[in-house]
Amino acid sequence: MNAVPEHLTTDLVCFSHLRWDFVVQRPQHLMRRFGRVRRVFFVEEPVRVAGASPGLTISRREGGVRVVVPTLPSLSDRTTVDRWLRRLVERMLQEQAIRDATFWYYTPMAMSFAPTSRARRVIYDCMDELSAFKDAAPEMLAYERELLARADHVFTGGHSLYESKARRHPSVHEFPSSIDAEHFRRARTVLDEPEPLRRLPHPRVGFYGVIDERCDAELLGAVAAARPELSFVMVGPVVKIDPASLPQLPNIHYLGMKDYAELPAYLAHWDAAMMPFAINEATRFISPTKTPEFLVAGLRVVSTPVPDVVTPYGRDGFVHIAATPEEFASRLDEALPARDPAFLAAVDALVSSSSWDASWARMARVEAQAPARAAQPEPLAS
């Protein structure tokens, strides 16, 4: 058996804006793989509870990942919150004997309480342009500048983000959306139909993911009105927007959040997939992981012209691109015929070199290239 590389025997502390038990995305796929060979501490944003004392809970998840949830009192100002978080993180490092660790940032906001001076290596895995999202903290850009100045390597979740960050750091590496192909290829086989779908007539057009300001609600409503014979299935949590602002038509069905393990069964009983993203600052740099997942499931896909979907998926004929409700409805008409074996073979060839295992291994090799700096212990905040 090959020896584990030395840097993969050290700890990894990941600071994330996403919660581990939320929608399965890039952080879960990668941290589970790191967790097989090293200790991984996944630090979430704090939970605010009235009257609570500052503290941490640490629990184990799949792959051995240790999920760290800070609990803080509510109604505290930002300075006090950062002071508490810094103290809690420092205490965790001491009590868990975390030394020579890689600090892995998904959110620049963690720079306010997680000092890079305590890390041997610093990775910024930029999966989204968070500063463009609804309700982004005004300090986000300043913290990102600081993180870029201190990071050893920067990873990006797509080509648009790569082009944006490559001008700002000497070591930027493009890691576009990968896929657990075997998981989603199950949708091509006979799977039990999920109960929430059984009452919905075919043809069905589906979407799963977070439903937020990146969803073009007006377009969704217009397309559903133009194709009343289709069932539009929306799977995922509604966040940061008022659910009442979403179109409410008889043929649009909001089914809520589903477990990652359930998704192939939903895809198996859809007739096409859609990505009705708004074209705005929040979607300018997104590279939707669901694009290859829909395709591997055997579904034709219709999407608005998100740059990282247009190239390469639209350019190479894998995704139908539509900019207006009229175009979107017409492209759905083209996408709905039965699955074509030649199309499935082309999809399999497309994703043959893309996997989370491969992305993780490449990231680990790049991480190893960073010279280990001397970690500097800091006194506990008063």
Residues of the chain with pLDDT under 70: 1-7, 372-382
pLDDT tens profile 31-48 = 999 999 999 999 999 999
33: in domain: yes
Q: What's the rounded Cα separation, in Å, for the pair 280 and 129?
A: 12
Q: Are residues 247 and 329 in the same domain?
A: yes
Q: Are residues 153 and 108 in the same domain?
A: yes
- Cα 166–168–172 angle (5° rounding)? 40
Q: How many domains does the chain have?
A: 2
Encode burial over 6-38: b for 16+ CB neighbours within 10 A, e otherwise.
ebbebbbbbbbbbebeebbbbbbbbbbbbbeeb
* Pairing relationship of beta strands 204-208 and 231-235 according to DSSP bridges: parallel
The tokens describing 119, both together, are 């890390």
**pLDDT at 7 (0 to 100):** 58
Q: Are residues 168 and 311 in the same domain?
A: no
379: in domain: no
Q: Are residues 217 and 263 in the same domain?
A: yes
337: in domain: yes
The CATH number linked to 117 is: 3.40.50.2000
pTM, entire model: 0.91
1: in domain: no
**pLDDT at 6 (0 to 100):** 60
* Pairing relationship of beta strands 47-48 and 66-72 according to DSSP bridges: parallel
Q: Are residues 99 and 241 in the same domain?
A: no
173: in domain: yes
378: in domain: no
* Structural domain that includes position 364: 6-178+357-368
CB 51 within 8 A of CB 76: no
Burial environment of residue 152 by CB neighbours within 10 A (0 to 12, 13 to 18, 19 or more): buried
pLDDT tens profile 322-347 = 999 999 999 999 999 877 899 999 99
Q: Which residue(s) pair with 302 in the sheet? A: 274, 320
Q: Are residues 136 and 185 in the same domain?
A: no
Q: Are residues 72 and 191 in the same domain?
A: no
Q: Are residues 189 and 162 in the same domain?
A: no
Encode burial over 273-311: b for 16+ CB neighbours within 10 A, e otherwise.
bbbbbbeeebbebbbbbbbbbbbbbbbbbbbbebbbbee
**Helix then strand then coil, % of the chain, to nearest 5:** 40, 20, 45
Q: Are residues 158 and 15 in the same domain?
A: yes
Give Cα separations from 62 to 31, 122, 320, 331, 358 (angstroms): 10, 24, 36, 40, 19
> In this structure, what DSSP letter does residue 311 have?
I
Q: Which of 66, 78, 81 is nearest to 14 (CA)?
A: 66
Q: Are residues 190 and 102 in the same domain?
A: no
**pLDDT at 2 (0 to 100):** 45
**pLDDT at 62 (0 to 100):** 87
Any residues with CB less than 8 A from the CB of 369 and at least 6 apart, and which?
Answer: 153
Residue 119 amino acid letter: A
376: in domain: no
**pLDDT at 57 (0 to 100):** 96
Q: Are residues 200 and 121 in the same domain?
A: no
Q: Are residues 361 and 349 in the same domain?
A: no
328: in domain: yes
Question: What is the distance in angstroms between the CA of the first residue and the CA of the last residue of the chain?
Answer: 48
